[in-house]
A = this chain, B = another copy of it.
Amino acid sequence: MSRTREFARLPGFRDFPPEEMALRNHLFDAWRRVSRRYGFLEYDGPPLEELELYTQKSGDEIVGQLYTFTDKGGREVSLRPEMTPSLARILGERSRAMPKPIRWFSIPQLFRYERQQRGRLREHFQWNVDLVGADGVEADAEVLAVALDGLRELGLGVDDIRARVSDRRLLAALLTSVGVPEGSLLATYAVVDKVEREPRERIAERLTEEVGLAQATVGGILDLFDEPGLEPVARAFAQDPEVTRRVAEMREFMATLEDLGLADFVEFDLTIVRGLAYYTGIVFEVFDAQGEFRAICGGGRYDDLLELVGGEPLSAVGFGMGDVVLADLLAERDLAPAYRRAVDHFIVVIGDEQASLARRVARALRDAGRSVVYGVRGQSVRKQFSAAANEGAREVIILGPDEVAREVAMLRDMESGEEREVPLDGLLNPSPAVRGEARSAESGGNRSQAAGES
């Protein structure tokens, strides 16, 4: 036990001192409230899984980014980079005995490790919501509604956020229609996923060289993304029955979101492809409306995944929403609650002779559900009042020798500064707190937002 150097946290990891933890709890509380309003049940899995659970089913994009290592038992393992494979594994063991659909949510911490990415976080928390065993586009709409309501619960409205939606099957029908062979579809997705971030010449080059598509097909693909809205696509491919079928489903999806009061938040956008290989239908991402930040949320339908990792064949749709971009957006919109400490009572003693009484009062008030702090032994009265202010005490209870001799205590309301005497007996035998819950030591203002934006 010799004294040595100072330590720092690992690069890419965050500490959560109380002010950061209060913000994290603010997000988690909102996510939990909204999940429950939609009837979703919370679950969790281990932060560490067998490596193959991830390499098995994901596209190439994820594999190089895994936080992977060999454990002491020689197993190849990985810190979880996403929750869906764990969900699939857990349901694989038990879904056959469960009524469908299954509505589950979780808030895991996820991990990535890319080398040579200075300043990039290697962990984040992600709200995961999955609806398993329901086929129709109503299920897709219900899941997107959970995501949007989670953001509305945090105060974000239709001026702040926008969901962009597409459909892998519609995109497949369109690509097939302009000449992409079925075997080249996944490779084509990977290239057109970048269509908004790379110049058209680069996209054309990659479609030609990497995917090996003919000149005419490449031209047809680029034309698709010139007008990526639903109506232009529907008009241009009105003769294609598969495209027409998928367009009708997309309209039904939009009508469902209209019923749910969220249509103004949603727009069709063919450029939304999603990186992961396992999506099979509608896909969506949520962005800030000004387009200043990276995506806040991404999700979609993945009907084959559960069977792939050994479960029963079950359709599924879900999303993940990270805490990092969302916290940045809330801060920019002035929607992150101000951090302030708060306890119900701080007990000040004038002399150490009142210390025992202070503890008995503290005990009685805590048993009644209140939050109570008292001063450290030997602290001056001035220091005790300074500590009370620092703790955010609503009320200070002052125990002085004269008052105690008369079996009373002085209460000072810390906001108004008003003082009044109360019988000690009432403090030692308080009525239970009305709300049954102590004033939080880290409450942060408006936790529940009005919900009339849409």
Interface residues of A (CB under 8 A from B): 1, 3-11, 13-18, 21-22, 24-25, 33, 35-50, 52-53, 56-57, 67-73, 75, 77, 79, 86, 89-90, 92, 94, 99, 101, 103-104, 109, 113, 115, 123, 134, 136, 138-139, 145, 149, 255-256, 259-261, 277-278, 304, 307-310, 341, 343, 355-356, 359-360, 362-363, 366-367, 369-373, 376-378, 386-387, 390-391, 436-442, 448, 451-452
Contacts and interface: CB of A to CB of B under 8 A. Distances in A.
Nearest to A436: B448
Choose among A37, A47, A75, A255 the residue with the greatest number of B CB atoms under 10 Å from its CB.
Answer: A37
A159 B99 CA distance: 41
B37 A370 contact: yes
B356 A259 contact: yes
Q: Which 9 A-B pairs have the closest CB atoms?
A: A6-B310, A39-B373, A13-B46, A259-B359, A18-B41, A16-B44, A69-B69, A36-B441, A37-B438
A369 B37 contact: yes
5 contacts: A11-B73, A36-B439, A39-B372, A136-B378, A138-B355
A207 to B, nearest CB: 22
Contact of A103 (B53, B255, B373): B373
Contacts of A72: 67-68, 113, 115
Given A33-B438, A260-B360, 4 more contacts: A15-B90, A18-B42, A69-B71, A255-B356
B44 A21 contact: yes
A404 to B, nearest CB: 14
A309 B6 CA distance: 6
A341 B448 CA distance: 23
A260 B56 CA distance: 56
A111 B277 CA distance: 32
Nearest to A451: B367
Contacts of A373: 38-39, 103
A10 B75 contact: yes
Contacts of A377: 136, 138
Nearest to A69: B69
A183 to B, nearest CB: 13
A70 B9 CA distance: 16
Contacts of A442: 36, 41-42
A47 B47 contact: yes
Given A5-B310, A16-B43, A90-B15, A371 B436 contact: no
B43 A4 contact: no
Given A39-B371, A373-B103, A7 B359 contact: no
Contacts of A362: 260
Given A37-B372, A440-B36, A109 B6 contact: no
Contacts of A452: 367
Given A16-B43, A99-B387, A259-B356, A371 B308 contact: no
A436 B386 CA distance: 35
A4 B53 CA distance: 10
A149 B359 CA distance: 14
A48 B10 contact: yes
A46 B9 contact: yes
Given A9-B45, A278-B1, A359-B256, A90 B387 contact: no
Contacts of A89: 7-9
A229 to B, nearest CB: 24
Contacts of A261: 360, 363, 367
A448 B367 CA distance: 11
